[in-house]
Amino acid sequence: METTLKRIWMLFFGTCALWRGTSSIYGRGRQSSRVKNLELLSKGNYKSPPNYEHIDRPTEIECNLYVNSVDSINEVNMDFTVGIVIHLSWVDTRPMANTQMDPFEYLEMDSNHMDKLWTPDIYFPNEKRASFHNVMMPNRMLRFYSNGTIIYTTRLSVTLTCPMDLKKYPFDKQTCSILIESFGYTDDKLSLLWSNHSDAVVVNFGIVLPQFRITDQKYKEFTRVHRITGNHSCLQAEFHLERNIGYYIVQMYVPSMLIVMLSWVSFWLNANSVPGRVSLGVLSVLTISTQSSIVNSSLPRVSYTKAIDIWMATCLVFVFAALIEFAMVNVASRKVPGRRFSLLKLFMSPRDNPAKEEEESYPVAKPTTVDAEGKVSFDNKPAPKDKIVTCAVNLDVASRFVFPLIFGIFNLLYWVYFLNT
């Protein structure tokens, strides 16, 4: 029994030692083959496209995009910044003649060796700024397979133009695009294709945008016509963005709505409360004006009217109308019956017309009626002054209902229109 166990243990350790030695030899052999193939590639000249000599067949470059992050979407500069990983693949059989590779084997080339092979001269036509990532090493890689397939991968951050239509801001929907094109080769020398139309552009599912959400993405292939250099093959990836309205409701719509409602408090105050009603009206107007300036400070100066401009302008009209309503009530409540406005009175002093001054200082009492028995009866009709005060009060009472009604109708039309469109 013990002899059998010893034999089993010896067989096990012998197998492990043999496997380790074989793996070490295979690893050294593979490393030696990689170094040898790199040396063989350095002897060739592959600085032109594979099919450059064949005019009837351009070199086809298949492209994939992985959107790792969307760093910012700027309305003022009308651009957006994305971090992407781009994969390009093509077939180049020329290096196969100078390499010794087994079937299904591939050769990995870092940034120090990939300049030995030709790579597409692509660029982004709508790019403002771009940078490669070099931490800790340049984030570029190239794989050369034994069948001639080459896969080139690089990681970069790009700031691209994104023209925006802000007429419905903040209910707007925008479309931002990534354009990829060959810089030097026309479409008869180099053709760009999406490698897989179902997954040509993959967006990181963990991306959370503060103001937008990606609703759809589309991609297409087309030819851009240049007047001097000719036709160039181009790829386009479109991202359809919809703005999140929640932030704007909390930060803009609700506060401005409350300020408008606050201006209606003056309708419930006494017409003689001049300091309180004036202060309330003026502060409401200034607050709405300040809020409107803050909103527009984060937007470009466009020549058309935006949805938020309509809202802020209407709120300003309502608070200003409340202030004007108080002015009308105050003037009506102070009006003296029978007194007419005259330009001559503006330039005459009381000394110029002492009789008029005495008449205004000591008003004559109204005649009363005395019957045959000597009883005196007084006229019970309200004086003209009382009628004017009643009219001013009625104006306040009517404003308590008219202002909220009109503002409610405006809200109904505003929200129904912009939410549905």
Environment class of 49 (CB within 10 Å of its CB; exposed 0-12, middle 13-18, buried 19+)? buried
The sign of the torsion formed by the CA atoms of 177, 180, 183, 189 equals negative
Measured CA to CA, the distance from residue 99 to residue 102 in angstroms comes to 10
Task: Provide the pLDDT for residue 178.
Answer: 95
Q: What angle do CA 22, 25, 28 make, to 5 degrees?
A: 150
Measured CA to CA, the distance from residue 319 to residue 328 in angstroms comes to 15
Task: Provide the pLDDT for residue 12.
Answer: 53
User: Distances from the Cα of 191 to the Cαs of 92, 195, 341, in angstroms?
Assistant: 14, 12, 85
Checking DSSP bridges between strand 59-74 and strand 190-194, what pairing results, if any?
parallel
User: Distances from the Cα of 138 to the Cαs of 135, 143, 180, in angstroms?
Assistant: 6, 15, 21
Residue pair 292/308 in contact by the 8 Å Cβ criterion: no
Look at residue 331 and give its three-state secondary structure.
Answer: helix
Task: Provide the pLDDT for residue 264.
Answer: 92
Q: Which two tokens stand for residue 22?
A: 């074989």
Residue type for position 24: S
Task: Provide the pLDDT for residue 328.
Answer: 87
Measured CA to CA, the distance from residue 327 to residue 202 in angstroms comes to 63
CATH level 2 (architecture), domain 59-244? Distorted Sandwich (2.70)
What residue spans define the domains of the chain? Answer: 59-244, 247-336+384-420
Task: Provide the pLDDT for residue 30.
Answer: 47
The predicted model scores a pTM of: 0.72
Residue 129 CA from chain centroid, whole number: 19
* Domain 247-336+384-420 CATH assignment equals 3.40.1360.10: no
Task: Provide the pLDDT for residue 98.
Answer: 55
Listing DSSP states for 373-398 in one string gives T--EE---SPPHHHHHHHHHHHHHHH
Residue type for position 136: M
Which residues of the chain, if any, have pLDDT below 70? 1-48, 51-55, 95-104, 111-113, 335-389
